Structure 1
Amino acid sequence: MAKIKSIEYFRVLPRWLFVKVTTEDGLYGWGESTLEGHTEAVEGSLNELILRFVGYEADDIEHIWQVAWRLGFYRGGAVFMSAISGIDIALWDLKGRKLGVPVYSLLGGKLRDQLAVYAWIGGDRPSDVAIQAKMRKAQGFTAIKMNATEDLGWLDSPSALNASVERLKAVKAEGLDVGLDFHGRLHKPMAKQLAKLLEPHQPLFIEEPLLSEHPEAIKAFSQHTTTPIALGERLYNRWDVKPFLESSSIDILQPDVSHCGGISEIRRIAAMCEAYDVGLAPHCPLGPISLAASLQVAVACPNFVIQEMSLGIHYNKMTPAGAGTFDLCSYLKDPSVFDVSGGFVKRPTGVGIGIEIDEEMVRKVSKECTTAWRCLEFFGPGGEVREW
């Protein structure tokens, strides 16, 4: 048994927060606590957890998770759970490296040799999303997810509904499956109308058609459509998930391993979903560590459906001017682990979470990354704040 010697975190471009746990005998593991737009808050929570967990046995992953959860008294929420996530992922990575096996071997072993993946696209007009769809297709994807409205849009008129349908048709014309992400922008009456308009075009799923703060409205909405309903990136533990499963109001759950308590908690959430015949499609518009951890769970998860991953296109606009472009592969020694072909990535075979981080580059970029990324601001024609 080896005790934790240090827990470090690294703020890196474009908007990620990496965590490294090192033991007294020199073993290490990498995790990710990225919470877009709230970096400083997560860092503050990590500072508290670091003071508590230095000196703990690194093998005792569940004990550490439970101590973080229970002894803080105030539980849950995006910031606190993201901090736990980074440490938890790093501990699983460390244990896999120590034993010389992938994390999925510690979760019961592999169920599949390749994993379905999709990527995100954006753009205002149908022609814009069609161009980006072609780019994703060239990268090897057969499925994508896109904003269902224009970047600054809000579905509050029949013309906006029609525009949403045209965007879907433009990407479907490229031969891709399409998930539609609404970021909770829909009003209830518009949601019901849009669901009927979209059904003939068979979207892969509708994501966050209403905000997850309204479970009763999502349940009612689910009775108006046959299109699969997905959500979960703003649910941060199994207790947040429970009411949606009990109400049978969703078809696909999208927990984020870097927001929901790490590998330990997303594995428990996946098992809960299986009991309710709900598929798992982990949310991950984040960095390579988060993606690698998600893939480890997906390999061993019976009800896995598809994995979100970010590859190159949309992060360019999120990088500060003059800083260059940083995507999934920027901090990896071997980027081929995330190669996409025919809509799949191969099962990772490396130890731990299956990737090797270029620590020298992480430390270099972290020293230069003095300003945290800020959430984009969306405003309506009257100056009102709108959902990101």
Structure 2
Amino acid sequence: MRITRLSVHHVEPRFSFLVVHTDDESLFGIGEACLEGKARVVQAALADFEPVLVGRDPRRIERIWHDLHRTTFYPIGSVLTSAISAVDQALWDLLGKHHEVPVHELLGGRVRDRVRAYRHVNVGDHGDAEVARDQQHIDELVAEARRAVEQGFTMIKTALPGPARGLETAAFVDFQARRFAALREAVGPTVDIGIDFHGRVGPALAKVLIRAIEPWSPLFVEEPCLPENVDAMADVARSTSVPIATGERLFTRWGFREVLEKQVAAVLQPDLAHCGGISEGRKIATMAETYYAQMAPHNPLGPVNLAASVQLDLVSPNFLCQEQIHLGEGLITRPFEVVDGYIEAPTAPGLGVELAPEVFESDWDGSWTVPNWQDPVDGALLPW
């Protein structure tokens, strides 16, 4: 078996998939090929990788991973690791199909029979100029949370709404506390609530906000500040008993090493479309286990990345929960189902999903942009 070519298919509004073709036309592997707002750049990286891949035996996944990782003299970042991730997912899909078993069997067999998924609960954004809308926002958020519980979810996650300045007003902090308290009252003590600060605040404000919501027992606070300065995030972690989560913007095991060594996070969130794929996700999970850190893979993308994540979740003893926003309607032939908050272990070969015909018929070029937030008062750029 040999790789013959790669093809990338974009589907609006934000989905991109890689197909790795082989000399057996009936056998191909799929992966999610995206980087938020930079899908076309990842596509260009895959085209650059193609000469390294064509003619290779796709079953030599570990060797191919290292060959791609070392194609440049310089340390690689988000674009190249996203391209490697797509290839890695597709090669594991191919290997599973070749042996007619799910990927989790190739990884040593599952340690659980189903995967806990959570639902996002958010209703727009909020700023100081919208104080009159405070209660309306909270009422709508509470209604969304109750719907999630009615659907069987045992965990929800919300995000810090809207942009934030380096330090904020008492009114801003009070709103965040009332918002989280209302969520806890709505779902009760048996439903877990994560909150994503999304790197929108600095470490000093993060400490203030975490202290304000701590009485209502968040499961974790995600990205309390941007992840570039590990010591700053470690300082936030030491200031609270609330578990800290991070990892969606980190790549490969080397990107997670310092986070673990400095005990920054109780929960790691590698994204299998960006961190290096299933191969690297498995190594990150094993590293995390030695530091007693939990795994909650990041996935605000599509169902192929979800499929890859589920395969890893099934074999990771330290798995906590799985992010999902799209179960695959219109993108895969058999969309995922979440029953009582869980996804059952797939039994189909490979990743267990197949792309729908609509994916191959799409002529969208993959161009989309991420939000650009500015301070409404002085026009300064604020982190999204």
- Report TM bin, short chain: over 0.9
**1:280-330 CA distance string (max 9 Å, x none):** 10000110000000000000011111110114xxxxxxxxxxxxxxx6322
**1:182-207 CA distance string (max 9 Å, x none):** 11122222222222221110011000
Contact persistence 1:97–1:352 (CA under 8 A): yes
**1:236-283 CA distance string (max 9 Å, x none):** 111110001000111000000000111011111111000111111000
User: What is the aligned length?
Assistant: 366
Instruction: Tell me what 1:385 maps to.
Output: 381
Q: Secondary structure at the match of 2:64?
A: helix
Instruction: Tell me what 1:161 maps to.
Output: 173
Instruction: Tell me what 2:21 maps to.
Output: 22
Match of residue 275, structure 1, among 255, 266, 290: 290
Contact persistence 1:195–1:224 (CA under 8 A): no
**Within 5 Å, which residues of 2 pair with 1:34-183?**
34-123=34-123, 124=125, 125-148=137-160, 150-154=161-165, 156-175=168-187, 176-183=191-198
**Within 5 Å, which residues of 2 pair with 1:148-297?**
148=160, 150-154=161-165, 156-175=168-187, 176-297=191-312
AA at the equivalent of 2:371: L
Contact persistence 1:16–1:36 (CA under 8 A): no
Instruction: Tell me what 1:352 maps to.
Output: 350
Q: Secondary structure at the match of 1:75?
A: coil
Instruction: Tell me what 1:362 maps to.
Output: 359
AA at the equivalent of 2:373: F
Match of residue 374, structure 1, among 355, 359, 369: 369
Contact persistence 1:115–1:344 (CA under 8 A): yes
User: TM-score, normalization: structure 1?
Assistant: 0.91
Contact persistence 2:14–2:366 (CA under 8 A): no
Q: Distance in 1 between matches of 2:301 and 2:33?
A: 10
Once the two structures are TM-superposed, the CA of residue 144 in structure 1 deviates from its matched residue by 1.4
Identity %: 39
1:343 matched to 2:341: yes
Instruction: Tell me what 1:314 maps to.
Output: none
**1:169-188 CA distance string (max 9 Å, x none):** 22222314211111112222
Q: Which segments of 5 or more consecutive residues in structure 2 lack a partner in the other structure?
A: 126-136
AA at the equivalent of 1:133: A
User: Over aligned residue pairs, what C-alpha RMSD do you find?
Assistant: 1.4
1:9 matched to 2:23: no
Q: Which segments of 5 or more consecutive residues in structure 1 lack a partner in the other structure?
A: 312-326
AA at the equivalent of 1:198: I
AA at the equivalent of 1:386: L
Q: Secondary structure at the match of 1:258?
A: coil
Q: Distance in 1 between matches of 2:5 and 2:330?
A: 25
Q: Secondary structure at the match of 2:186?
A: coil
User: TM-score, normalization: structure 2?
Assistant: 0.92
Contact persistence 1:254–1:283 (CA under 8 A): yes
Once the two structures are TM-superposed, the CA of residue 138 in structure 1 deviates from its matched residue by 3.7
Once the two structures are TM-superposed, the CA of residue 371 in structure 1 deviates from its matched residue by 5.1
Contact persistence 1:333–1:357 (CA under 8 A): yes
